[in-house]
Amino acid sequence: MPMKTKVTGVETKAITIRVSPEAAFAYETASAEQQRKLDALLSLKLAEVARAKHPLEIIMSEMSRKARERGLTPEILESILNEQ
């Protein structure tokens, strides 16, 4: 059910996504204020992808390139994706 935030009046909708255990821990242990900021950040990023003039594959390739630059190897990614 969509709801409006008190501060911005922006309509939001709750969703469920899969994240790494590290990301889940960071979110779950964050204060309520920090969680709202993380919610807003993720919402903005997802909206940016949805509005992008580039296909999702190009955006994902750019994100992949940046991840490799930061040390994420295909083996590490595969390990993360296979976690349950």
Q: Are 26 and 34 in contact (CB under 8 A)?
A: no
**What's the rounded mean pLDDT across residues 56-72?**
84
Site of tokens 């709202």: 36
Model confidence, pTM: 0.57
- Residues 21 and 2: their CA atoms lie apart, in Å, by 27
pLDDT tens track for 9-28: 678 899 999 988 999 999 99
Q: Report the domain count for the chain.
A: 2
Res 7: pLDDT: 47
Looking at the structure, do residues 6 and 24 belong to the same domain, yes or no?
yes
Site of tokens 């994240």: 19
Cross-strand pairs, 3: 12
57 vs 3, more confident: 57
Looking at the structure, do residues 21 and 43 belong to the same domain, yes or no?
yes
**What's the rounded mean pLDDT across residues 20-46?**
91
Pick from 29-33, 43-47, 59-63, 75-79 the range whose average pLDDT is largest.
29-33
Res 8: pLDDT: 55
Looking at the structure, do residues 46 and 70 belong to the same domain, yes or no?
no
Site of tokens 């969703």: 15
Q: Are 83 and 20 in contact (CB under 8 A)?
A: yes
Looking at the structure, do residues 34 and 57 belong to the same domain, yes or no?
no
Looking at the structure, do residues 44 and 57 belong to the same domain, yes or no?
no
Range of the domain at 72: 53-84
